Amino acid sequence: MTRAQIIEQIGKKKSYLCVGLDTDIAKIPSHLQIADDPVFEFNKAIIDATKEFCVSYKMNTAFYEAQGVKGWESLEKTVHYIGDEHFKIADAKRGDIGNTSDQYAKALFETIPFDAITVAPYMGEDSVKPFLQFAGKWAIVLGLTSNKGAKDFELQQTGNGMLYEQVLQTVSSWGTLENLMFVVGATQTDEFTTIRKIIPNHFLLIPGVGAQGGSLKEIAEKAINKDVGILVNVSRAIIYASNGEDFAEKARSVAKKYQQEMMSFL
């Protein structure tokens, strides 16, 4: 999916919502557990309920890898079911020496047709570049995360500002506005002004709204650019809004609420 197509979908739906399909089989409603593929049946119902309110879906691959071959099958079926109208993100946080990253990219861009992969930049340019070689595909590089461990490295002062600032500055030169995004945690709103000075035009994937407590209002005030330029991910607050047979209906209601709030900031 191209940048223009993402912007078009945001404008069409008046939304920059990304729904996180981080599906834990232990949390799937009991009436679905008898299905041949409970994870896929759950995902399919969530997608049907939320697709008009969001522009993207993000799947944390760990929740699928934990189920072995069956989990990979659920993941692949989910990606195909979503289709081409929504931006599909593999939250895999890959990043290794070049030939290994090349295989990661092929696995999650070709074998399973995601639009984007989250990437860890710690090993440097040759570990990120392979993800930038596929037309219409994106690397979403970890910039500044919401977890408490961010202070251990990302928020450490260096001779040129904080480490995360150096990462944004350096990595932004490796790709373009058409194939490179950055992950910035929703709870790091104090840093958004600085981030937008470094990368004013790049898209940001912003997790941490909902269960983690990030504020949509603060994000909108500090991170939106002329193209909107953000995708805000909400996972648990939507997909686990109910654990009963009404789970999809409740998910739809919560997704609609987020979309309406987002629309008020556009």
Question: Of 25, 22, 12, which Cα lies nearest the Cα of 51?
Answer: 12
Under a CB-based contact definition with an 8 Å cutoff, are residues 39 and 71 in contact? yes
Q: Per-residue pLDDT for the chain (266 aa), expressed as one digit of tens each?
A: 999 999 999 999 999 999 999 999 999 999 999 999 999 999 999 999 999 999 999 999 999 999 999 999 999 999 999 999 999 999 999 999 989 999 999 999 999 999 999 999 999 999 999 999 999 999 999 999 989 999 999 999 998 899 999 999 999 999 999 999 999 999 888 899 999 999 999 999 999 886 666 789 999 999 999 999 999 999 999 999 999 999 999 999 999 999 999 999 99
Which pLDDT score is estimated for 212? 65
Domain regions of the chain by residue span: 3-263
In the residue annotation, 77 being an active-site residue is answered as no
- Measured CA to CA, the distance from residue 3 to residue 11 in angstroms comes to 12
Rg of the chain taking only CA atoms, in angstroms: 18
| pLDDT tens digits, one per residue of 195-214 | 999 999 999 999 988 666 67
Catalytic site residue from 93, 222, 256, 257: 93
Contact present, 21 and 46 (Cβ < 8 Å):
yes
Query: What's the rounded Cα separation, in Å, for the pair 90 and 21?
Result: 10
- Best CA proximity match to 180, nearest among 144, 108, 229: 229
Q: What is the pLDDT of residues 50-70, one digit of tens each?
A: 999 999 999 999 999 999 999
Give me the CATH topology for the region 3-263: TIM Barrel (3.20.20)
